[in-house]
Amino acid sequence: MEHQPPPFFNRGPAPLVRLMFFVILALLLMVLDARFRYAETLRAALALLAYPLQRVAMAPVQLAVGVAEFFSSQVQLRRENDALREKQLQAAKDLVTLDALAAENTQLRRLVEARERLPRKSTLAEILYSGRDPFSRKVIIDKGGNNGIQPGLPVVDDVGVIGQVTRVYPLLSEITLVTDKDHAIPVQVVRNGLRAVAYGAGDGATLDLRFMAANADILNGDVLVTSGIDGIYPPGIPVAKVARIERDAAYAFAKIACMPAAGAGQHGQVLVLARDANLPPAPELEQAPVRPAKAKRARRRE
């Protein structure tokens, strides 16, 4: 005989059933997000919901910064003013020669019939906070899709490359730093023009040059700049400096650790560079990649 409990004891499904339901839902979401990237619209909607909360959370911090700036002493301001004036004088001297050099450079380029490099458009953005996800290296900036930011654009500061825009929300965007484990950037050694690819080491502070032969001509202190062959990063921007080389005869490749040139932790402002306008279109893929691991990596990097 069926026996139903009275309605005031009814508490819905058993806790274990409920847990299983939500765990399976979460696992499904994670697989969709990590392997197939189908969950982007849901993520954008949720992020838009969370945006006012984030603004509210940021308000007291901004207020504190504003108050601290207001009360910064006059002495400090004057010292800063003097330093800036001195810097400007030096820069002015450089600027005079720069004009001449730029003119000369254009002429030389025309002589070798090299394609003229147009200056890229850039957007100034401010770093709002570093990503709270401890498993990846990301920062959030205050410009988004409404300001013309697109996924894949390179981001630099006044010293060198910071990273690449990986996710764009209407009002914010997310930058993956060059030190992130999933980030790769084509580089070139300034001293001898050797090309390589630098990967984030995953420890949050360094980059690795992988798959360089043990006898490759790389020395401690070599400066690595972007090579520009990827069509995303403009060539010649500093990326990192070689910090440590381990050559072990037992391995075919050397272990090369590099320190990044730019630090997203130190600066508030960054520049998001637009795409190079006169870049030839990318060649068509001949066939779909076979291995899923490869496909994922290619998508992540575009």
Partner 1 sequence: MIEDRPQRILLRVKVSFMALTTLLALLFNLLPWRDVTGLPDMLALVIAFWCVHQPRRMGIGAAWLLGLMMDAANGALLGQHAFAYSVLAFAAVQLNRRILWFSIWPQALHVLLLLLGSQLLMLSVRLAAGGAFPGFAWFTGSGIAALLWPVVTFLLLFPQRQPETVDVDRPI
CB of 214 to partner 1, least distance (A): 26
Candidates 2, 9, 56, 283; binder of partner 1 (CB under 8 A) is 56
Residue 28 touching partner 1 (CB under 8 A): yes
Which segment (37-45, 99-107, 187-195, 240-248) binds partner 1 by CB under 8 A?
A: 37-45
Residue of 231, 265, 295, 299 interacting with partner 1 (CB under 8 A): 265
User: Closer to partner 1 at the Cβ: 168 or 237?
Assistant: 168
Stretch that binds partner 1, among 101-109, 155-163, 179-187, 276-284 (CB under 8 A): 179-187
Backbone φ, ψ for residue 200 (5° rounding): -65, 140
Mask for 194-233, x = binds partner 1 (CB under 8 A): --------xxx-----------------------------
User: Please, what's the largest Cα pairwise distance for the chain?
Assistant: 98
Structure tokens at 278: 């006169």
Cβ burial 4-19 (10 Å sphere, 16+ → b, else e):
eeeeeeeeeeeeeeee
In this structure, what token pair is assigned to residue 276?
């190079």
The Cα–Cα gap between 38 and 51 comes to 21
16 vs 89, beta carbon nearer partner 1: 16
- Asked if residue 98 binds partner 1 (CB under 8 A), the reply is no
Q: Is the Cβ of residue 37 or residue 110 nearer to partner 1 in the bound state?
A: 37
CB atoms within 10 A of CB 188: 20
**Cβ neighbours of residue 161 under 8 Å, at least 6 residues apart?**
154, 155, 178, 185, 226, 233, 237, 238, 239, 261, 262
Output the smallest distance, CB 255 to partner 1, in A. Answer: 17
Residues pairing with 176 in the sheet: 138, 164
Q: Check residue 26 for interaction with partner 1 (CB under 8 A).
A: yes
Of positions 135, 287, 288, 291, contacts partner 1 by CB under 8 A: 135
Tell whether residue 69 is a contact of partner 1 (CB under 8 A).
no
Q: Where are the alpha helices (DSSP H) in the chain?
A: 15-31, 40-70, 74-111, 292-301
**Cβ partners under 8 Å of residue 275, min gap 6:** 120, 150, 153, 232
Q: How many residues bind partner 1 (CB under 8 A)?
A: 50
**Candidate residues 36, 58, 295, 298; the one interacting with partner 1 per rule CB under 8 A:** 58
CA distance 267 to 163: 13
- As given in the structure block, the two tokens for residue 80 are 């800063």
Examine residue 177 and tell whether it contacts partner 1 (CB under 8 A). Answer: no
Q: Choose between 46 and 279: whose C-beta lies nearer to partner 1.
A: 46
Alpha helices, H only, 71-194: 74-111
Residue 57 token pair: 């959370």
Which chain residues interact with partner 1 by CB under 8 A?
A: 11, 15-16, 18-19, 22-23, 25-30, 32-34, 39, 42-43, 46-47, 49-50, 53-54, 56-58, 61, 128-138, 140, 167, 174, 180-182, 202-204, 265
